Structure 1
Amino acid sequence: MSNARVPGPVLVMGEALTDLVPDRDGSLLPHPGGAPANVAAGLARLGVRTAFAGVLGGDAFALAHEKRLSAAGVELDLCGRSARPTALAVASPTPAGTRYDFHLHDTATFRLTPQVMELERFSAVYVGGLAAVVHPAADAVAETACAAADSTLLVVDPNVREDRTVDPAAGLSRLRDLCTLAHVVKASDEDVQTLWPESMPDASCRRLADRGRLVVLTRGLRGSTAFLPSGVEISVPAVPVTVVNTIGAGDAFMAGLLAGLAAHTGVAGGQSTDITAAQAQDLLEGGARAAALVCAQSGSDASLLTLGAKPA
């Protein structure tokens, strides 16, 4: 792949919320997070012009989000503002993964508006995260995604989250619909198993790819696999790293993957996902390097992500 940039910026739409992460002494430390905000920050740090369409609140957490996104180089002209507070996600890391308890009611975070009129500015649009299933953001995300599917490269990360505040049936239905619209789907094996429990994740990915999509399945420490529309499957291992934290690793992988797509103008400049096996391997390796960098630090911030950076 060349190092050419996308012939236009990437639009990342969704939430910027605050993760409260346990410290070693048991106290909770706030970290700017939210899957789409993590992706936007990581993508900008990797040299891709990126715009974030979320909503920032009127509290100190929102100021931290704005500082983080601006420092990464993310464009915020499409980011809304509200006097309401920022949504919170209390993270509870366990050996089996991280559980989240969300505090979303009456926050600024999900008061998104559709971005249909702005799509001609962008070469690719990313949607996913909680904004895809939490109202009123979910309708705005769906409307934008439907328009993007017809006009640009639509990239979806379903990023399934289970919480008492989210209707599981309606939420999963919305995420399946987004995956069906997408030209590129990146999902974890757990996400895919939850969305399509009737079959194994690999079989579900093959069905999605068979309909003309590029599908990337992440498996944590077991690496990742790209399912190409041609039927070719490419797998790469995870990058070895001393794991300090896994929060935001999937989002960093997504940023690395998107940065690779940005370099491949034949994909990111239109809706074609017809890439070679070698190009798919490059995409997966870029995602794996980005995920490893985040796993080597505390919190979900992508501050270590830069072009050419390697995990210790």
Structure 2
Amino acid sequence: MTSPASPVLVVGECVADIVRTDGGPDRVHPGGSPANVAYGLARLGRPAVLLTELGPDANGRLIRRHLESAGVRVRAAEVARTPSAVVELDGRGQAHYTFDIGWTLPPTEPGEVIEPAEPPAAIHLGSIAAVTEPGAASVLALVERRRGRARISYDPNVRPALMGDRAEAVRRVERCVALSDLVKASDEDLAWLYPGERPEAVAERWLALGPSVVAVTLGAEGAFARTAEGGHAEAAAVPVRVADTVGAGDSFMAAFLDADASGAGLPDCLTRAVTAAALTVARPGANPPSAAELTAVLAGRTADGQVPAREPSSGAATSWNRSTG
């Protein structure tokens, strides 16, 4: 647990999400799972620093402005061009990705990222940057140096098109799990990594590797979390009208981390996280709620856990779908 003002260092990729729908013009949204988590934390009032890579191009400038508008402090190594992903949305608003991404982060000392007087109380890593070489080695070296002095969280945010051989991907993911205190994954992540295994069984396996908490999102079935001490909590999904699922899992992660950093119990962490994800899928792009929005919705939820009905701008009435980043 960290204090309410403690900064979180997020390490990982920024991606320009080029959202493509049938018959409509392309829309460019700032994205990348770690960048979305940093933005979500800042929107919730949590000081956040993002260690990343950006190109000196229009997409890079767009992403930097977006992050800094929420208060994220961006520390970016320069690369030739900003990574991008074409995001195609199906009729349910579900996102499917085609990537143009590399990750080459050079070795970095913690003092180069945050002032020595303000060391990170928590470090979050995940997605492409945690398993893609050569930059993944720098990420893991940084985490290993800070382990025991900062709370480490990890979200594999599996992208099958970029993961390569499954067995090697599992090895890399499990190495990150073993370095972490808190791990979050979606049921879709787990289905790709461990075909045919129940999410609950994988959560128990991961807890045996070292984390104190493993949380799993289950799409329309909500989410659950288990602890190394045998604790268990569940949260139901929040019915909303879905615009798209881009960034839902990252909003879940940011809200969970913020609640955890503030000392909330496991049930409250899950409730805040599934509500933040629901608010995100109700509007286009990776657009997480502010602290005021999340607080207002939580205060106004009905006895059965639903968000009070509001007139939607688009989408079909349904529970939030997948926690895609």
TM-score by length of 2: 0.82
What does residue 255 of structure 2 align with?
Answer: 256
Aligned partners of 1:252 and 1:35: how far apart in 2? 9
Q: CA deviation at 1:146?
A: 2.1
Query: Cα distance, 1:227 vs. partner?
Result: 0.3
Q: Can you list the C-alpha shifts for 1:120-178, whole angstroms capped at 9, x where unaligned?
A: 71000000011112222211122122223333111000111011684544333211210
How many pairs align? 290
Residue 91 (structure 1) aligns with: 87
Q: Say whether the 8 Å CA contact 2:11–2:52 is kept in structure 1.
A: yes
1:25 Cα deviation after fit? 2.5
For 1:309 and 1:70, locate their aligned partners in 2 and report how far apart those are by CA, in whole Å: 24
Q: Provide the residue aligned with 1:186 in structure 2.
A: 184
1:122 corresponds, among 117, 120, 123, to 120
Asked if the contact 1:254–1:287 (Cα under 8 Å) also holds between the matched residues in 2, the reply is yes
Provide the C-alpha distance between the structure 1 equivalents of 2:17 and 2:53, rounded to a whole number of angstroms.
Answer: 16
Aligned residue number for residue 240 of structure 2: 241
Secondary structure in 1 matching 2:174: helix
Distance of 2:196 and 2:228 partners within structure 1: 22
| 1:115/1:238 CA distance change after superposition, 3 Å | farther
Give the secondary-structure state (helix, strand or coil) at the position aligned to 1:227. Answer: strand
Identify the residue that residue 21 of structure 1 maps to in structure 2.
19
Instruction: Write the letter of the residue equivalent to 1:102.
Output: F
What residue in structure 2 maps to residue 270 of structure 1? none
Alignment CA distance shift 1:200-1:241 (3 Å): same
Equivalent position amino acid for 1:260 in 2: A
Aligned residue in 1 for 2:281: 295
Tell me if structure 2 keeps the 8 A contact 1:55–1:81: yes
> Which residue identity lines up with residue 191 of structure 2 in the other structure?
Q
Q: Secondary structure at the match of 1:216?
A: strand
Tell whether 2:137 aligns with 1:139.
yes
| Aligned equivalent of 2:214 | 215
What pairs with 1:1-312 in structure 2 (closer than 5 Å)? 5-6=4-5, 8-23=6-21, 25-76=23-74, 78-82=75-79, 84-94=80-90, 95=92, 97-104=94-101, 110-118=103-111, 121-163=119-161, 166-197=164-195, 199-210=197-208, 211-264=210-263, 279-302=265-288, 304-307=289-292, 308-310=295-297, 312=310
Q: Which amino acid aligns with 1:130?
A: I
State the shift of 1:81 in Å: 2.8
Could you tell me how far apart the structure 1 residues matched to 2:165 and 2:206 are?
24
Contact 2:238/2:274, CA 8 A, preserved across alignment: yes
- TM-superposed CA distance for 1:212, in Å, is 5.0
Between 160-169 and 240-249, report the one with greater CA deviation. 160-169
Structure 1: give runs of 5+ residues left out of the alignment.
265-277
Partner amino acid for 1:231? G
CA pair 62-96 structure 1, distance change in 2 beyond 3 A = closer
Identity %: 34
1:92 Cα offset (Å): 2.1
Instruction: Report how far residue 79 of structure 1 moved.
Output: 2.5
Superposed CA RMSD = 2.3
Q: TM-score, normalised by structure 1?
A: 0.85
Contact preservation (8 Å) 1:176, 1:195: no
The one-letter code matched in structure 1 to 2:160 is E
1:279–1:159 CA distance, 2 compared to 1 (3 A): same
Residues 12-62 of structure 1: CA deviation (Å, up to 9, x unaligned): 000011111114533321111000000000000101010000011110001
Asked if the contact 2:183–2:211 (Cα under 8 Å) also holds between the matched residues in 1, the reply is: no
Alpha-carbon contact 1:239-1:289 (below 8 Å) kept: yes
- Equivalent AA in structure 1 for residue 14 of structure 2: A
Whole-angstrom CA distance in 2 between matches of 1:23 and 1:198 = 32
Task: Classify 1:199/1:30 alpha carbon distance in 2 versus 1 (closer, same or farther; 3 Å).
Answer: same
CA distance in 2, matches of 1:87, 1:167: 22
The 2-side partners of 1:216 and 1:28 are apart by 34
